[in-house]
A and B are shown apart, each in its own frame.
Chain A
Amino acid sequence: MTKTTDTDPREEMAHLIGRIGSDGDMEAFEQVFRAFGPRVRAYMMRLVRDPQAAEELMQETMMTVWRKAAQFDAEKGNAATWIFTIARNLRIDSYRRSRRPDFDPNDPAFVPDADPTADQTMEARDDERRLHAALEELPPEQRRLLDLAFFDEASHSEIARRLDLPLGTVKSRIRLAFNRLRATLGDRS
Chain B
Amino acid sequence: MSIQHHISEELLLDYATGQLSEGWRIAVATHLALCPSCRRRLAVMEMTGGALIAEPVDEEATQEAASDESASWESLRKRLAADRAQTPDAERPVKAKASSQAGQTVLPEPLRSYVGGDVDTVKWRPLGRGAYHLPIETDDGTARVRLLRIPAGKPVPEHGHRGRELTLVLSGSFHDGDDLFARGDFEEADETLQHQPIATDGEDCICLAVTDAPLKFRSWLVRAVQPIIGI
Residues in A lying within 8 Å of B, measured CB to CB = 10, 26, 29-30, 33-34, 36-43, 45-46, 51, 54-55, 58-59, 62-63, 66-67, 78-85, 87-89, 91-92, 96-104, 107-114, 127-128, 131-132, 135, 146-147, 149-151, 153, 155-156, 171, 174-175, 178, 181-182, 185, 187
Contacts and interface: CB of A to CB of B under 8 A. Distances in A.
A37 B76 CA distance: 11
B116 interface: no
Nearest to A128: B47
Interface in B66-112: 66, 69, 72-73, 75-77, 79-80, 83, 88, 90, 95, 98, 102-103, 105-112
Given A66-B80, A81-B47, A104 B61 contact: no
Interface stretch (B30-38, B125-133, B223-231): B30-38
A92 B18 contact: yes
B53 to A, nearest CB: 5
A177 B33 CA distance: 25
Nearest to B107: A109
Which of B53, B55, B75, B83 has the largest count of A CB atoms less than 10 A from its CB? Answer: B53
A153 B33 contact: no
B29 interface: yes
B206 interface: no
Contact of A98 (B34, B62, B138): B138
A29 to B, nearest CB: 8
Contacts of B53: 36, 39-40, 43, 80, 83-84, 87, 150
A38 B19 CA distance: 23
A109 B17 contact: no
A107 B44 CA distance: 23
A103 B139 contact: no
Interface class of chain B by DSSP: helix
Nearest to B58: A42
The 9 A-B pairs at the shortest CB distance, nearest first, are namely A81-B50, A80-B50, A109-B108, A98-B139, A101-B110, A103-B33, A109-B105, A42-B57, A80-B54
B46 to A, nearest CB: 5
Nearest to A89: B18
Contacts of A178: 9, 13, 41, 44-45, 48
A34 B57 CA distance: 12
A146 B52 contact: yes
Nearest to B15: A102
Which of A55, A58, A111, A185 has the largest count of B CB atoms less than 10 A from its CB? Answer: A111
A103 B107 contact: no
B158 interface: no
Contacts of A127: 47
A103 B108 contact: yes
A38 B9 contact: no
B102 A185 contact: no
Given A63-B76, A91-B18, A149-B13, A85 B48 contact: no
A153 B26 contact: no
A155 B17 CA distance: 10
A2 B206 CA distance: 50
Contacts of B120: none
A102 B29 contact: yes
A108 B102 contact: yes
A187 B40 contact: yes
B39 interface: yes
Contact of B47 (A78, A91, A100): A78
Contacts of A109: 33-34, 98, 105-109, 112
B98 A108 contact: yes
Given A107-B95, A174-B10, 19 more contacts: A10-B54, A38-B57, A41-B62, A45-B65, A59-B76, A80-B50, A80-B51, A80-B53, A81-B46, A81-B47, A82-B50, A85-B46, A88-B18, A89-B18, A97-B139, A102-B25, A108-B103, A109-B34, A178-B48
B155 to A, nearest CB: 28
